[in-house]
Structure 1
């Protein structure tokens, strides 16, 4: 068991490191960018390994409730990989990169309508950017946002159709929610539902708020850096992934609250039945 846990933790750590290092490895960049990326990948891999090799987690939620974290990781991996391949296709084109570029362009045009999150990202373009840079922002944002929507819908289907998280056994509240203290504050059901609603609301609003904040902070943030492929990939990936991750967490918390409420109802009904028999 110890060896199996060690191997699984090592595989997860390597996978996280590869995702972070992917744009720097596949795209040309400076030595400083490569060093920073290598450091971030090493730190992320170490934290992931420590979290999964131990008996109990300290930060990562829903560690023993698959496929929650797997879906989130797959969403981030797909987004970073696809955007990196499209960017690499501008240097070394191939049938795959050309096909992905056409899909991204179509997604960008479909989702670029007034007041949409993609339109707000496109409005970040400065006067110094050329039409090609603007089109790149539109296509990257459209594809990344579409992938985030797919990941959220996929998790909702897992919850509804596959009876997550109790399909394969009981849900351990203490292990899967290490940062949630049920003994503090109001009733645990109230707090779970409140946190779930807050997470979903933030997840819906963030794709609109992030571009607005970046525009307001344009005096301190160099928006012209979005023309650099690696910066654009990580900016778009974070803009799409973080809101989707919050929505998925909100749905998960609401699901846990529903399970606890159902268990309480059964316990109350059983207690009443025992009182009536006595």
Structure 2
């Protein structure tokens, strides 16, 4: 446990940096909101330390199977930073901020086609939304999708190049999948494939479900993501990150199913086991 403490502290510091970066990049954040995000960052840091110091499974999946969580973290961190820089161009139009905003607008327009999630997002914006606000939302959506696609591509390359999760075929289900019970019944491979397919399907549907749900919640509480740039940054980043995270989880679980199937076939060829479905995962 003590040997894992330095790594857990580094991860906690990175989590604090991710949570506070949008507040630091945007100039119009009031002190109460900043204090709230400092508190959220502290809670996130404590949670990460507790998870990564413990040798027992917790809530974080694939804890001992890098770079799964690293890809997720970098994807969200990059998304928050890029959208925050794009939003800051309204107040401090630096060359970098204007360049990121221009790239986001270009990407947003290229992805704004009929039946696309970005078209739905623009369509449900509240009445009174200015052209500049709609343009900023479109740019944020384009940047968020760019980083999400890059994250998915990096993870797919890691699977192909490094043989993720393990080139030797070893994988600790108890530590890395604490919510998955391999003894719950049924073949593990079939369950992993099914869960992976469900996660990928949810990743496809979620960009269409979250905007109407967010509008309903906003109308119920009388708030809007356009009230502040900080809220825009977080809402747009999470809108793209949650489906990406589901995609990554689905790909990872189907990869595990493939790895177990290959290991079973290898054992069948070596030992002549008649029914590989009863072999351990």
Normalised to the residue count of structure 1, the TM-score between the two structures is 0.92
* CA contact 1:26–1:88 (8 Å) conserved in 2: yes
Q: How far is the alpha carbon of 1:217 from its aligned partner?
A: 4.7
Encode CA deviations 1:154-195: one digit per residue, 9 max, x unaligned. Answer: 212221233111137732222211221111132211211111
Q: Which runs of 5+ in 2 are unaligned?
A: 275-281
Deviation per CA, 1:206-263: give whole Å up to 9, x if none. Answer: 1111113234555315463324101110000000001001000000000111111111
Whether the 8 Å CA contact 2:87–2:136 is kept in 1: the answer is no
Provide the residue aligned with 1:195 in structure 2.
195
- The alignment partner of 1:219 has SS state of helix
Partners of 2:125 and 2:170 lie apart in 1 by: 49
Q: Deviations over 1:19-63 (max 9, x none)?
A: 111122222222221122111111111000111112233111111
Cα distance 1:217–1:13, how it changes in 2: closer, same or farther (>3 A)? closer
Residue 235 of structure 1 aligns with which residue?
235
Offset at 1:14?
0.8
User: Is structure 2 residue 167 aligned with structure 1 residue 167?
Assistant: yes
In 2, are the aligned partners of 1:152 and 1:244 still within 8 Å (CA)? yes
Which residue number corresponds to residue 126 of structure 1?
126
Distance 2:253 2:181 in 1: 13
| Shift in alpha-carbon separation, 1:64–1:218, aligned structure 2, 3 A | closer
More moved, 100-109 vs 167-176: 167-176
Deviation at 1:136, TM superposition (A): 0.7
**Where does 1:190-269 land on structure 2 (aligned, <5 Å)?**
190-217=190-217, 219-222=219-222, 224-269=224-269
CA offset at residue 94 of structure 1? 1.2
Task: Say which SS state the counterpart of residue 224 (structure 2) adopts.
Answer: helix
- Distance of 1:92 and 1:219 partners within structure 2: 31
Measure the CA separation in 1 of the matches of 2:86 and 2:77: 14
CA shift, 1:100, in A, is 0.7
* Distance 1:176-1:271 versus aligned 2 partners, 3 A rule: same
Question: Structure 2 CA distance, aligned partners of 1:116 and 1:223?
Answer: 25
Separation of aligned partners in 1, 2:240 and 2:123: 16
Residue 89 (structure 1) shift: 2.2
Question: In 2, Cα distance between the equivalents of 1:129 and 1:85?
Answer: 21
Match of 2:142? 142
Separation (CA, whole Å) in 1 of partners of 2:2 and 2:169:
21
Alignment match, 2:17: 18
Count residues with an aligned counterpart. Answer: 273
Whether the aligned pair in 2 keeps the contact of 1:202 and 1:246 (CA below 8 Å) is yes
Aligned to 2:31: 31
Cα separation, partners in 2 of 1:168 and 1:77, compared to 1, 3 Å: farther
Worse overlay, 73-82 or 163-172: 163-172
Report the CA distance shift for 1:255/1:225 in structure 2 as closer, same or farther (over 3 A).
closer
**Residues 1:79 and 2:69 are matched in the alignment:** no
After superposing the two structures, state which structure 1 stretch, 31-40 or 250-259, moved more: 31-40
Residue 83 of structure 1 and its aligned partner are, at CA, apart by: 0.9
